[in-house]
């Protein structure tokens, strides 16, 4: 299963630093980063694709991240 997260950030550089620092927590949540995209026109929207090894832990990670107040939406995806 994969998960696609859209994050809206006014400061990509600061977001990326914090995201990189959160690596260990994502691993503990059963998430492996597959790809990151950035909006080519505005740069304020970031999409991150993860491989999900444990949906319940991934959902807990999402709740924690959304608790910081940033705009983030995530969708779980499966290959059909």
Give residue 37's pLDDT. 96
Alpha-carbon span 43 to 53, nearest angstrom: 29
- CATH superfamily of domain region 2-77: Ribosomal protein S10 (3.30.70.600)
Give residue 67's pLDDT. 77
The parts of the chain modelled with pLDDT lower than 70 are 69-70
Give residue 46's pLDDT. 94
Both tokens of residue 22? 């959160």
pTM over 0.85: yes
Give residue 66's pLDDT. 84
> Residues with Cβ < 8 Å from 4, sequence gap 6 or more?
47, 48, 49, 50, 74, 75, 77
Give residue 43's pLDDT. 82
């Amino acid at each position: 299963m994969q998960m696609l997260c859209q994050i809206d950030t006014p400061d990509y550089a600061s977001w990326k630093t914090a995201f990189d620092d959160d690596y260990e927590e994502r691993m503990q949540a059963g998430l492996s980063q597959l790809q990151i995209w950035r909006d080519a026109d505005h740069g304020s929207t970031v999409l991150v694709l993860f491989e999900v090894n444990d949906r319940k832990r991934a959902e807990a990670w999402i709740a924690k991240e959304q608790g910081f107040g940033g705009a983030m939406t995530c969708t779980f995806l499966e290959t059909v």
